[in-house]
Amino acid sequence: THFGYSEVPLSRKQGLVDDVFHKVASRYDLMNDLMSGGLHRAWKSAMVTALGLPRGPRSFRLLDVAGGTGDIAFRALKRGGPGVGVTVFDINGAMLDVGRARARDLKLDDRIEFVQGNAEELPFESGAFDAVTIAFGIRNVPRIPLALKEMRRVLKPGGRALVLEFSKVDVPGLDKVYDAFSFGVIPQIGRLVAGDAEPYQYLVESIRRFPDAETFADMMREAGFDQVSATPYTGGVAALHMGFRI
Ligand code: SAM
């Protein structure tokens, strides 16, 4: 309700999200560092560690949904063995273009592919991947239960899904600091770096409306995942959710 975005109908939500990432694509990586004070790096590393990637030559297919500029993909390729291959999937062509350029620079283009589409309808066969990740993407998807079901469908039996997302701060005092930062500072950083505060007000709003870790864990169970767990990071500013397809 803070910025009047709460009433956005489902059908318009995706358009709003697409505008945001289209505008910021070229400066997205810098913005991430500024807005999280570099914390997103630690959270993403922890997620990639939780993937349990093979260090040896064994083949391992990772799908990174809402993969944007490829941050998770590059980390996974760096950490895992030579059998690791990643598909970066995102609805936004501008974000994927930045990722493609990064892949060429890093000479990793033979182990990474970029596919454009909607997380609610993954264009992949069932059981195609060893693991599926989504980092700071699921809250942007209009129909989250559909995306979770799709993520489970494309997993091999025994495969895991990891969802990294902003969560609910559960440390007394930190919540106040966090509120001041997110409503006060984040839109201003957006204005300075991307030239526009409004898209970031929408982002802050969407973080605020995202469910707490336990509620989201239940949504994963409802989508059919087993052995679901949630781990808070930095006092609950973010949380990693994990679930398996048995
Ligand atoms: N995972 C990357 C990271 O952690 O740096 C990018 C996260 S960025 C905050 C969110 C991404 O979700 C954007 O690249 C956006 O285009 C993508 N996205 C939004 N809605 C989507 C949808 N319905 N299907 C697939 N990707 C979507």
What CATH number should be reported for the domain holding residue 130?
3.40.50.150
Instruction: Give the burial string for 157-174 (b: 16+ CB within 10 Å, else e).
Output: eebbbbbbbbbbbeeeee
The count of domains in the chain is: 1
Nearest ligand 1 atom, CA 67? 1
- Backbone phi, psi, residue 5, to 5°: -90, -10
pLDDT digits (tens, 9 = 90+) for 112-142: 999 999 999 999 999 999 999 999 999 999 9
Please check whether residue 65 lies inside any domain of the structure.
Answer: yes
Question: DSSP letter at 26?
Answer: G
pLDDT digits (tens, 9 = 90+) for 158-207: 999 999 999 999 888 998 888 888 888 888 888 888 787 877 787 788 88
Pairwise pLDDT comparison (199 vs 32), residue with the higher score: 32
- 5 has pLDDT over 80: no
Q: Ligand 1 centre from 110 Cα, in Å?
A: 23
Q: Ligand 1 centre from 16 Cα, in Å?
A: 12
How far is Cα 10 from Cα 52, in angstroms, rounded to an integer? Answer: 36
- AA identity, residue 133: T
Strands annotated E in the chain: 60-65, 84-90, 112-116, 129-135, 155-166, 226-233, 238-244
3-class state of residue 144 by DSSP: helix
Specify the pLDDT at position 7: 62
Please check whether residue 175 lies inside any domain of the structure.
Answer: no
Mean pLDDT along residues 33-37: 86
Specify the pLDDT at position 153: 98
Please check whether residue 63 lies inside any domain of the structure.
Answer: yes
Q: Ligand 1 centre from 133 Cα, in Å?
A: 11
Ligand 1 site, CB within 6 A:
14, 17, 21, 66-68, 71-72, 90-92, 95, 118-120, 135-137, 140-141
Predicted ipTM of the assembly? 0.99
| SS3 per residue for 46-66 | HHHHCCCCCCCCCCEEEEEEC
For atom 16 of ligand 1, the residue with the nearest CA is 92
Please check whether residue 123 lies inside any domain of the structure.
Answer: yes
pLDDT, averaged across the chain = 92
- AA identity, residue 104: R
Token output for 7: 């009433």
Confidence of residue 101 (pLDDT cuts 50, 70, 90): very high
Confidence of residue 9 (pLDDT cuts 50, 70, 90): confident
- AA identity, residue 225: F
* pTM summary value: 0.94
Instruction: Find, among 224, 223, 222, 220, the residue nearest to 242 by Cα.
Output: 220
List beta partners, residue 81. none
> Is residue 221 a contact partner of residue 128, using CB atoms and an 8 Å limit?
no
- 2 has pLDDT over 50: no
Please check whether residue 190 lies inside any domain of the structure.
Answer: no
> Is residue 163 a contact partner of residue 72, using CB atoms and an 8 Å limit?
no
Instruction: Find, among 220, 52, 242, 230, the residue nearest to 150 by Cα.
Output: 220
Confidence of residue 6 (pLDDT cuts 50, 70, 90): low
Confidence of residue 11 (pLDDT cuts 50, 70, 90): confident
Give the residue ranges of the annotated binding site.
69, 90, 118-119
Give the residue ranges of the annotated binding site for S-adenosyl-L-methionine.
69, 90, 118-119
- 72 has pLDDT over 70: yes
Q: Ligand 1 centre from 78 Cα, in Å?
A: 21
> Is residue 100 a contact partner of residue 68, using CB atoms and an 8 Å limit?
no
Residue 133's domain comprises: 37-169+211-244
Please check whether residue 197 lies inside any domain of the structure.
Answer: no
Q: Ligand 1 centre from 136 Cα, in Å?
A: 7
Please check whether residue 144 lies inside any domain of the structure.
Answer: yes
3-class state of residue 173 by DSSP: coil
- 1 has pLDDT over 50: no
> Is residue 49 a contact partner of residue 74, using CB atoms and an 8 Å limit?
no
3-class state of residue 126 by DSSP: coil
Instruction: Find, among 185, 53, 204, 63, the residue nearest to 122 by Cα.
Output: 63
Token output for 234: 């930095």
CB atoms within 10 A of CB 109: 14
Least confident piece of the model among 18-22, 106-110, 157-161, 209-213 = 18-22
Please check whether residue 174 lies inside any domain of the structure.
Answer: no
